[in-house]
Structure 1
């Protein structure tokens, strides 16, 4: 039976489905965002011909895609039906449906996360899953002589296939690897795959069948086209949550978002050892985020885990996503 490796840290929860020692799915939930299934209360800010925008007291905006008879300014209860989605250059607001009332107690982030993992039906082990992000950060996976490159766009995720040898052999490897990556990073919405072109229709059909077979263990349904004469295949599946790539890069294309950099630095603080205070060095925009009032609870959580105080230093020349220094005491 697959295991679940939990890798929680201040402001971010991670988990991986692990089968025979290999990470096959990665799931992420971040405290800065409303999660699928969370319930809340907000004010109808403005109505549209097909729905309305609802705003909470803390300024979060939600999209209601169904008409409502309630007037602007009325306070309503809602449930999140799709989380906020980051795409290159823009954020898409979370979507909601209206509820008759809120439950007596709103579930906290831990309860929402536990419910999500319980649905996976396996026991939990505390283990790091950082190795699972390598291909995502590189934007590339190498399988023998076959290279699968990928990049997010506003329209969806685009894969490019290249390699040494005959086209059918290259595409056979790539089809299996792309199915693995889509499951690993929980990618939804539109996906475009640019296989090496093949003239024979029978071979193109075989490649699509290989992809389908490799996708059999991914429980998320999808629809796809055939592989056309130019080697292009498109597929689409539901996208109720951000993919791992959306979480990592936010509105950037290939650079880690400032939210990701800040969360990874807090993770480093929480897991650092030693008795001296921690100094976190980060780029100015990341340092500003870390020092913000909104992030105070996660700073507190990180310093509590480290058992030491924490200071944030802004440095334009900070390498990577920054670093954490432990003073000698």
Structure 2
């Protein structure tokens, strides 16, 4: 499997496209104005305790108070509150936890009103970004993630990813980490640590300890509801979590971002530094690599599949519904079951891609085409699970019911990626009516009077539909020559097949569109 990352940087933010074998599978948008990223740590202020929900609403500076449930407090929340109080009052000087005496773990079935009170300060970490009308979801079970390990304060436990199967490797990693981790810190060893040496693990752990020290340093001075420690940007987070030898290219269209990412990859995987390349082509990066076309075809209510079948995707407040239709794909009556199975498999592969691409979360209900054989239903379930195995978000899949319905729950930590694929008709501006076509050339010449005579522009280009270009250039003494004698300058005419029949635009000598 060949993986590529295409990064489009613009003044409004960064868009990241992940391709597998040239097919778009993930799309991430990082807006410059987004201050609430998963992993950021804030000094929150308790605004309201809700005993009925066993939760609290916390002010972290967002327009709506964030939500903190008792189960998200973490077992060592009393130690965190105690440390925060001591650090802010100047009673605790060390940046690590060597001399800190932890409090006992809280009762899992306890009440939040017994631990927190109104206006109390508590460090919290963003667990879910603001979604729809809801504020951020918080956790006070703080952890700091690196490439190979995750640092967990107030814990002594060293845990290892279940995806590392070898007992020998698990024991080796455990011994390495336990020999270098600081006192009163737990460590989660990530899957990518498999096969890594002491130097790489130690460097990653030291970087995380430095972040914790930065958190302790800033804690006394930071104002309530302000950020104490920020997660790295979305691009670097994505690279940290998914970068592996399967990646062949990372293309970026911004020079400064290219240098930043090259430097970051040099730190985490020096042998892969050369795959980072700067896009220098004049064609926009997403257009050059076919991303724009894939976005237009993959988003929207209807998604067509290669075999003639199609998906209909509907979104509601409570859940997402996906309907599988066979379309114009038909088969003989005797082969109906096999045909349904093949269409369902094709749909399952695309659905797994759509969930990642749109970052759909919550409850997803899929209406597959009915199949009567239990073996086919089981094979479809196994096939869907196999396709969903590439999804990094936590998810649960229930087997198909006898009605062909499959239910999926998928973790949602960010707003769903929603791209409008329909466009307003440039000819009618959405009204459904256009100017009489017989007046098209009159409209163009009226604009010439404004641009050439009043604005005194030189060497302009008229861009029109190919049919209109052919009409303008038809004959020896054509419209271009008439315009030349009328305006005393040659007006270049170009065609664009993407234009509507009555659409036209003017461009200056610098190839910038002249707005009318």
Please report the TM-score for the alignment, with normalisation by the length of structure 1: 0.66
**What are the equivalent positions in structure 2 for 1:191-202 lying under 5 Å apart?**
191-202=364-375
Listed one character per residue, the Cα deviations across residues 138-183 of structure 1 (whole Å, up to 9, x for unaligned) are: 2221112101111111222210011132322321221222122122
**Structure 2 residue corresponding to 1:140, chosen from 302, 305, 312:** 302
C-alpha change, 1:327 and 1:77, in structure 2 (3 Å) is farther
* Residue matched to 1:309: none
Say yes or no: does 1:224 pair with 2:397. yes
SS at structure 2 position matched to 1:8 = strand
* Residue matched to 1:48: 50
Looking at structure 2, the residues matched to 35 and 217 of structure 1 have their Cα atoms a distance apart, in angstroms, of: 23
* Residue matched to 2:250: 124
C-alpha change, 1:92 and 1:59, in structure 2 (3 Å) is closer
Say yes or no: does 1:72 pair with 2:118. yes
Say yes or no: does 1:95 pair with 2:137. yes
Alpha carbons 1:84, 1:242 under 8 Å: kept = yes
- Post-superposition offset of 1:40: 1.9
Say yes or no: does 1:152 pair with 2:290. no
Looking at structure 1, the residues matched to 13 and 314 of structure 2 have their Cα atoms a distance apart, in angstroms, of: 24
Say yes or no: does 1:62 pair with 2:66. yes
Looking at structure 1, the residues matched to 299 and 387 of structure 2 have their Cα atoms a distance apart, in angstroms, of: 23
* Residue matched to 1:5: 6
Looking at structure 1, the residues matched to 343 and 298 of structure 2 have their Cα atoms a distance apart, in angstroms, of: 21
Looking at structure 2, the residues matched to 172 and 78 of structure 1 have their Cα atoms a distance apart, in angstroms, of: 43
SS at structure 2 position matched to 1:241 = coil
Alpha carbons 1:11, 1:32 under 8 Å: kept = no
SS at structure 2 position matched to 1:32 = coil
* Residue matched to 1:175: 348
- Post-superposition offset of 1:255: 8.9
Looking at structure 2, the residues matched to 156 and 8 of structure 1 have their Cα atoms a distance apart, in angstroms, of: 32
Aligned CA RMSD, in angstroms, stands at 3.2
Give the structure with the higher percent strand.
1
C-alpha change, 1:222 and 1:109, in structure 2 (3 Å) is closer
Looking at structure 2, the residues matched to 35 and 243 of structure 1 have their Cα atoms a distance apart, in angstroms, of: 14
Alpha carbons 2:128, 2:136 under 8 Å: kept = yes
Looking at structure 2, the residues matched to 40 and 221 of structure 1 have their Cα atoms a distance apart, in angstroms, of: 25
Please report the TM-score for the alignment, with normalisation by the length of structure 2: 0.44
- Post-superposition offset of 1:35: 0.9
Say yes or no: does 1:111 pair with 2:233. yes
- Post-superposition offset of 1:201: 1.7
SS at structure 1 position matched to 2:345 = helix
* Residue matched to 2:483: none
Alpha carbons 1:155, 1:190 under 8 Å: kept = yes
C-alpha change, 1:136 and 1:76, in structure 2 (3 Å) is farther
Alpha carbons 1:24, 1:184 under 8 Å: kept = yes
Alpha carbons 1:205, 1:226 under 8 Å: kept = yes
Listed one character per residue, the Cα deviations across residues 196-222 of structure 1 (whole Å, up to 9, x for unaligned) are: 112222222222122123223333342
Looking at structure 2, the residues matched to 255 and 74 of structure 1 have their Cα atoms a distance apart, in angstroms, of: 48
**Structure 1 residue corresponding to 2:40, chosen from 23, 38, 53:** 38
Looking at structure 1, the residues matched to 363 and 303 of structure 2 have their Cα atoms a distance apart, in angstroms, of: 20
- Post-superposition offset of 1:15: 0.9
- Post-superposition offset of 1:57: 4.2
* Residue matched to 1:162: 325
Looking at structure 1, the residues matched to 346 and 68 of structure 2 have their Cα atoms a distance apart, in angstroms, of: 42
SS at structure 1 position matched to 2:47 = strand
Alpha carbons 1:171, 1:196 under 8 Å: kept = yes
1 or 2 for the larger relative contact order (CA 8 Å, sep ≥6)?
A: 1
Structure with max Cα Rg: 2
Looking at structure 2, the residues matched to 32 and 221 of structure 1 have their Cα atoms a distance apart, in angstroms, of: 24
Looking at structure 1, the residues matched to 42 and 64 of structure 2 have their Cα atoms a distance apart, in angstroms, of: 11
Looking at structure 2, the residues matched to 222 and 58 of structure 1 have their Cα atoms a distance apart, in angstroms, of: 28
- Post-superposition offset of 1:56: 3.3
- Post-superposition offset of 1:64: 0.8
